[in-house]
A and B are shown apart, each in its own frame.
Chain A
Amino acid sequence: MSLFARSRKLASFLLLFLGAQAATAQTPPPASDEPELVEFDTSKTRSIAVPALVAPSPVDTPAGNSAALGRQIAEVISSNLRASGVFETQGPNGLRAIGLPEVTAPQFGYWKARPVEQLVQGFVRVGGDGNLTVGCYLYDVGFGTETTRLGFNVPPRDWRRAAHKCADAIYSRLTGELPFFDSRIAYIAESGPKNKRIKRLAIMDSDGANHRFITNGQSTALTPRFSPNYKSILYLSYVDGNPRIYVYDIDTGRQRLITQSNGPTFAPRWSPDGQTILYSMAVSGNTDVYKISASGNGTPIKLTSSPGIDVGGSFSPDGRQIVFESDRSGSQQIYVMNADGSNQRRISFGGGRYATPEWSPRGDLIAFTRIAGDFRVGTMRPDGSGERLLTNSWQDEAPTWAPNGRVIQFFRTAKGSGKTGIWQVDLTGSNERQLPTPVDGSDPAWGPVLP
């Protein structure tokens, strides 16, 4: 059973409201329209306790016993919240088991003494149809009040998604940011020596779970991008001996070229609505940026025409503008243009070279790789102001945004060995950590929050 067969069943991923007061829980505050940078206040790290979810009358499911699932769901919630860097979490390990009545009537005095500020409790029930009902409650320990409650009805194999949804709701409620845990990542799994690197297309959940290799590594695969609906992946493959962009259909396992051309095509990107594909093509050695309908039967439209290398690109969330890189000035720099190619203007002036621009899903920032000696990942506003570098290592490259525009993943290459890994950092440059992958990883591409 593939991950994506599962995603076809998203319609059955039913959100239950456990009482009227939860009605606003799934509508976190909208992203700010103000252009000013919003700072995380990391001094306000909140401590959260997540005891194992209660499984009244435990039963076996295809994903394991419901009591074990209750503990595993608490582990995922705890680990998601901890990895966000905003929270310190306790549990489920080291916390006492709670009883079912306690789920809705917490012993605030006990938790206050631990001490914790927030408490997440819940239950897992197995229904007559074999599906799980996961209930999830957030309490403010100091005030002794319930903050929010949510319920999810999922097939047992999707228990992780219920945990992610619960963690997302808690994260949104407590930070005011949009959710991002329940999302997936496409990337390139790397193995083998530096001069014979095997590069395979692979996908995983945003926390590295549910990992799956898609290509077998016989031909080099590079630079994947999930379609906004997660049904297909754009990527580069050398399968015919030349670098060319394919659309891989996840349900059927089939792929097609995005355009018939003699020239090599690379650096594929989706428009936010999934209707248009942005790509780069070299003709007689000169690379320009093009776009074409994702339907497969359109005519390519050439957007740039400088004699320099114009490459890559990323749509603004409203689809009206494109940020891309060009060395028309003599070195790689970042430019913005309208989606029809008009009004091309340079926005990076900080010294050194600038590459791999990616527009935040919130629209407020552009992430990039800055090359000045070492490679570092940073952000700037779409007008080029407010530049900040978030990482400092020998070679950090190719940022990709979390769906909430608050966290960035990128890949880090080691000097000498060429070994790579996928890393994550938040917009303050804090909470840097490596994602667990079965082999080395590069070219991460984060998809949107699952419905």
Chain B
Amino acid sequence: MTKNTIKMAALLLVSTALVAGCGKKKVDNLPPAAEGTDYGQTSTDPNAAGAGQIMPGSQEDFLQQVGQFGDRILFETDRFNIDAEDQAILQRQAQWLAQYPGTRITVEGHADERGTRDYNLALGERRANAAKNFLVSIGVDAGRIQTVSYGKERPSALGSDEQAWAQNRRAVTVTVR
């Protein structure tokens, strides 16, 4: 376990460096702030306050600890299964949550624009719950996890192409203050 944590820390340093190196481009790819949360902006903005000022257990801390796009898992069209890559991402989220047992999260389920509105709301629910169920299966208290579906209402990538749609079929974990 200790070994894993050290490995993880090393990995995080690398990914944090990558994030800083990528600069503004990656910021553009992030989704809009969810209502009532400080979502996503500071951790990847190289001009933001230094790491020393990030409050442990905060959304900023979460984003820094899980690494770039470590707050989300992606899905195939109309699918909601959790594959090995998703499991690794959710496990890292669970490790962070284990450090801050008082923190609650919302898992936001999203769909791409190539679905009808009502169906996409239902699909977002499925995806958010799939992520939630996996987190619960690896030990996160279900009572700490809320879900919400935004269907196709809040795209992260703005294009109308396969690449953008792949980024938009997602379940994103956001900490709740």
Contact = CB atoms under 8 A, between A and B. Distances in A.
Interface of A: 193-197, 199, 220, 222-223, 236, 241-243, 264, 266-267, 280, 282, 284-287, 309, 311-312, 325, 327, 331-332, 355-356, 369, 371, 375, 394-395, 397-398, 413, 415-416, 418, 443
Interface stretch (B6-14, B44-52, B148-156): B148-156
B135 to A, nearest CB: 13
Contacts of B129: 282, 284-285
A247 B133 CA distance: 32
B57 to A, nearest CB: 22
A309 B149 contact: no
A352 to B, nearest CB: 12
A397 B119 contact: no
B155 A194 contact: yes
Nearest to B123: A309
A223 to B, nearest CB: 6
27 contacts: A195-B158, A197-B153, A222-B117, A223-B117, A241-B35, A243-B121, A243-B148, A264-B121, A264-B149, A267-B118, A282-B122, A282-B129, A285-B133, A286-B126, A309-B119, A309-B122, A325-B119, A327-B78, A355-B115, A355-B119, A356-B116, A371-B115, A395-B114, A397-B116, A398-B117, A418-B113, A418-B160
Contact of B121 (A199, A266, A397, A415): A266
Contact of A280 (B116, B118, B132): B118
B118 A243 contact: no
A223 B118 contact: yes
B118 A416 contact: no
A332 B120 CA distance: 11
A428 B143 CA distance: 54
A309 B120 CA distance: 10
A376 B48 CA distance: 46
B113 A222 contact: no
B36 interface: yes
Specify which of A193, A282, A325, A375 lies most central, judged by the most chain B CB atoms within 10 Å of its CB: A282
Contact of B32 (A195, A369, A375, A413): A195
Given A285-B125, A285-B128, A311 B149 contact: no
A397 B151 CA distance: 15
Given A284-B129, A327-B78, A415-B160, A311 B122 contact: yes
A355 to B, nearest CB: 4
Nearest to B157: A195
B116 A243 contact: no
A355 B155 CA distance: 21
Interface string B30-44: 011001100000000
Interface of B: 31-32, 35-36, 78, 80, 113-119, 121-123, 125-126, 128-130, 132-133, 147-149, 151, 153-156, 158-160
B25 to A, nearest CB: 16
Nearest to A356: B116
A332 B118 CA distance: 11
Contacts of A418: 113, 155, 158, 160
Given A241-B148, A355-B116, A418-B113, A195 B155 contact: yes
Contacts of B80: 285
Given A241-B35, A416-B159, A416-B160, A264 B148 contact: yes
B149 A243 contact: yes
Given A222-B153, A355-B116, A280 B122 contact: yes
Contacts of A331: 78
Contacts of B121: 236, 243, 264, 266-267, 280, 282, 311
Contact of A194 (B78, B117, B132, B158): B158
A282 B128 CA distance: 11
B35 to A, nearest CB: 6
Contacts of B132: 285
Nearest to B127: A285
Given A195-B156, A242-B148, A331-B78, A398 B125 contact: no
Can you list the 4 inter-chain pairs with the closest CB atoms, starting with the nearest? A285-B129, A287-B122, A282-B125, A267-B118
Contact of A311 (B118, B148, B154): B118
Contact of A332 (B32, B119, B130): B119
Contacts of A241: 35-36, 148
A355 B117 CA distance: 10
Contacts of A266: 118, 121-122
Given A267-B118, A287-B122, A356-B116, A220 B148 contact: no
Contacts of A309: 119, 122-123, 126
A325 B147 CA distance: 23
Contacts of A243: 121, 148-149, 151
A158 to B, nearest CB: 34
Nearest to B155: A195
A199 B156 CA distance: 17
Contact of A282 (B114, B133, B149): B149
Contacts of B117: 222-223, 397-398, 443
Contacts of B159: 416
Nearest to B80: A285
A416 B155 CA distance: 12
Given A195-B31, A243-B149, 17 more contacts: A197-B153, A264-B149, A267-B118, A282-B149, A285-B80, A285-B128, A285-B132, A287-B122, A311-B118, A311-B121, A327-B119, A332-B119, A375-B116, A397-B116, A418-B113, A418-B158, A443-B117
A325 B121 CA distance: 13
A397 B120 CA distance: 13
A394 B160 CA distance: 11
